[in-house]
């Protein structure tokens, strides 16, 4: 059976950056299962997996536009340290949910000064080409519940 919309695909993957460093990988005993066509994985990887079957192995290089998008400088902001009241120690790498005019946005602290804190609302992998090594381990029809929910239950 081939990977297509409304089917559940199960894959083992290793994600690396341009330098070949491993960013993420599926645990040996827990491959990733997702509902194809439901937007549960980055579009470029989903496109590369279309039509593949159990046993297929592939290398997919996903440009930023089909991954986590380009970086947007406007999502990097300097805010007063007072915005973090109630947080004992603000450190680079910490993540917070910010309320914006467009809804909640996950931001990462990138720099901490005496009076100001720099936060970045870009996804940590925005602007990067993603390199996936993938092995398809299973493909099956999605249950009606999975189709309704838009994800693997």
A 10 A CB-CB count for 3 gives 23
Q: What is the pLDDT of residues 22-40, one digit of tens each?
A: 999 999 999 999 999 999 9
Q: What is the pTM of this model?
A: 0.84
Q: Do 11 and 62 lie in a common domain? A: yes
Residue 150 included in any domain? no
In a domain, 21, yes or no: yes
- Regarding whether 116 and 130 lie in a shared domain, the answer is no
Full domain range(s) for residue 14: 7-68+126-145
Tokens representing 42 are 């980055």
Same domain, 17 and 64: yes
Domain count across the chain = 2
Residue 39 and residue 114 share a domain:
no
Q: Apex CA 6: angle with CA 65 and CA 149, to 5°? A: 90
Residue 11 sits in the same domain as residue 55: yes
Sign of the Cα pseudo-torsion (139, 26, 20, 122, in order): positive
The answer to whether residue 12 scores a pLDDT higher than 90 is yes
User: Is 107 found in the same domain as 131?
Assistant: no
Whole-number CA gyration radius for the chain: 19
- Residue 73 pLDDT grade (very low, low, confident, very high; cuts 50, 70, 90): very high
Predicted pLDDT at 153: 79
Question: Would 1 be classed as within a structural domain?
Answer: no
- In terms of domains, do 12 and 63 share one? yes
In a domain, 24, yes or no: yes
User: Partners of 77 in the beta sheet?
Assistant: 119
| pLDDT tens digits, one per residue of 99-115 | 888 889 899 999 999 99
CATH of the domain at 36: 3.10.50.40
Same domain, 25 and 44: yes
Burial 20-47 (b: 16+ CB within 10 A, else e): eeeeeebeeeebbbbbbbbeebbebbbe
Which CATH number characterizes residue 104's domain?
2.40.10.330
**CB count, 10 Å around CB of 79?**
14
What are the distances in angstroms from CA 30 to CA 26, 40, 71?
A: 6, 17, 31
């Amino acid at each position: 059976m081939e990977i297509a919309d409304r089917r559940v695909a199960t894959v083992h993957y290793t994600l690396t950056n341009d330098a070949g460093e491993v960013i993420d990988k599926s645990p040996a005993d827990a491959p990733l299962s997702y509902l194809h066509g439901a937007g549960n994985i980055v579009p470029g990887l989903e496109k590369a997996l279309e039509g593949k079957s159990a046993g297929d192995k592939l290398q997919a290089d996903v440009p930023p536009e089909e991954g986590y998008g380009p970086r947007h400088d406007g999502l990097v902001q300097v805010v007063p340290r007072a915005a973090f009241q109630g947080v004992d120690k603000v450190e680079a790498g910490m993540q917070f949910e910010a309320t914006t005019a467009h809804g909640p946005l996950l931001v990462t602290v990138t720099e901490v000064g005496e009076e100001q804190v720099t936060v970045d609302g870009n996804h940590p992998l925005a602007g990067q080409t993603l390199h996936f090594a993938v092995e398809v381990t299973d493909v099956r029809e999605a249950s009606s519940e999975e189709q309704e929910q838009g994800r693997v239950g």
